[in-house]
Amino acid sequence: MEQLKFGHKKLYIDGKLVEASDNKIFEVICPADEKPTATIAWASRQDTERALDSAQRGFNTWSALPLNERLDWIDKLRNKILENQDRLRESIMYEMGKTWEGTEEDLTSITNSLKYYSEEIKKRSDIPLEDKEGTHEHHFISQPLGVAVAFLAYNFPLLNLGFKLGPALASGSSIILKPSEFSPLSAYLIGELCEEINFPPGVITVLCGDVNEVGIPLCESTIPRLITMIGSTETAQKLIAQSAKTSIKRYSMECGGNAPFIVCHDADLELAINIGAALKTGNSGQICVAPNRFFVHESLLEDFTAGLVEKFSGTKVGFGRENQPDMGPLANKASVKKVEHIVNKAIEQGGKLRYGGKAIDGTGYYFEPTVITFDHNEVEVLQHEIFGPVALIVPFKTKEEVIVLANNTDAGLASYVFSKNNETLDFFANRLEFGEVQLNGVKYDIYLPHGGVKNSGIGVDCSTYALDDYLAKKRVTKALLRQ
């Protein structure tokens, strides 16, 4: 048997790397060549119960540590990650098929998160409350919440992990990380680094396994105080239903999106084309904030479409650090089937295929960058998140018309508007029903809140506001004694 590039990785539970109790393993497949690149220990229910118990003990220890000691440990972990950044980036490239350049965002996101929240937690202080009668003294204080369980999506393995790990550790909470089975390798490597530096046991846990052995027991346990997730709306609904059976828990969920990309008649056309193409081919379109529905003013429809086709036709698809592709494969075979289905449905519903439209022949889960245009907006397929390199383009006449079309979705994560008119930009900023409205550009960073409305989630990732999910609030009132 050919030696696996990353060998075998173990669970990280209670500060130790361990095999699954029943010795089950799981193959991590590289989507570029469809070959195993590693095996991981595949957790059992017994392992999950051990993880929960150790996470509770870890919380008891971690939350009692003085803040400066917690921050020293966080800094030690961050430095260890930086020392191993090439190895971590390479693991993401092989588990996800990402371009080498694309892996940098994952790496910088986790290290920036650890640094940012270490600084941000020091700014938190008790809030004094006024006593109207002058008889009492009040403070509103924050304390570590408890055990958090984080279910992570496959598309940005370390970015998603970092968004949860940073605020959890800084707040004094412990965290159980359950990565996706499609990209668990980099998370398991984080477990290895934790063991190497002897990170306090039980504070961080990394495990992956079947839903019945890991997912449901984590949710149904009364130990977790917070269930947090990055993934689909359907997954979030299941997690909430499962976890609510046994105890009241907090939820922080970043769910699927269906982002509108609105190009007004006075837009900077080149800017809109460049950003639209980059968002659709970046990470092979597997981005929750990637635009799905391109609403383009009828006067710019053909020029925008031609520009997008030109960009897509120049996209170099492939794999490998030396090859320097612009876009890699989709994460798994099921993703290819899903995107194929959406493209076929779009054409059945009146769409005109302008470029691409099919899986690329040969080894790997590659799909062509695809452009489909419609001459009307009564299209059912526009209601579905694509999660692939497919742009669906619909014309519009007025901003009043397109705001209705843009908001006609149960999702509400990201949205994009391009116009040179400030009144037009204000119109959309005030009326778009999305957690983020990006005007004439795109910016994401750890200090900027990221979250959705409607079926796109609860709470936020990133920014100081994410800390609130991992902190318990308490009012302390003291009567003033008469002299």
The span from the CA of 169 to the CA of 299, in Å, is: 52
> 159: which 2 tokens?
């970015």
Annotated catalytic, 254?
A: yes
Q: Which two tokens stand for residue 389?
A: 């390199």
User: Residues 6 or more apart from 343 whose CB is under 8 A from it?
Assistant: 353, 357, 358, 370, 372, 390
Q: What is the DSSP string of 203-215?
A: SEEE--B-IIIII
Rounded CA gap, 165 and 176, in Å?
Answer: 9
The total of other beta-carbon atoms located within 10 Å of residue 426's CB is 11
Q: Which two tokens stand for residue 344?
A: 């076929």
Contacts of 456 (CB under 8 A, 6+ apart): 233, 254, 255, 256, 257, 411, 412, 413, 434, 435
Give ∠ CA 15-82-471 in degrees, rounded to 5: 55
Q: DSSP letter string over 290-311?
A: SEEEEEEETTTHHHHHHHHHHH
Identify the active-site residue in 90, 105, 254, 436: 254
CB 391 within 8 A of CB 413: no
C-alpha closest to that of 331 among 99, 97, 103: 97
- Partnered with residue 151 across adjacent β-strands are 178, 229
377 class by beta-carbon count within 10 Å (0-12 exposed, 13-18 middle, 19+ buried): middle
Per the CB < 8 A criterion, the answer to whether 287 and 255 are in contact is: no
CA 116 to chain CA centroid, Å, is: 18
* Structure tokens belonging to residue 343: 């493209």
- For residues 45-77, one letter each, b for 16 or more C-beta atoms within 10 angstroms of the residue's C-beta and e for the rest, the string is bebbebbbbbbbbbbeebbebeeeebbebbeeb
Q: SS3 for 99?
A: coil
DSSP letters for 58-80: HHHHHHHS-HHHHHHHHHHHHHH
Helix axes 100-120, 157-171, angle to 10 degrees: 10
- Spatial contact of 118 and 137, defined as CB atoms under 8 Å apart: no
The DSSP annotation for 139-203 comes to: EEEEEE--EEEEE--SSSHHHHHHHHHHHHHHHT-EEEEE--TTS-HHHHHHHHHHHHTTPPTTS
Catalytic residues: 254
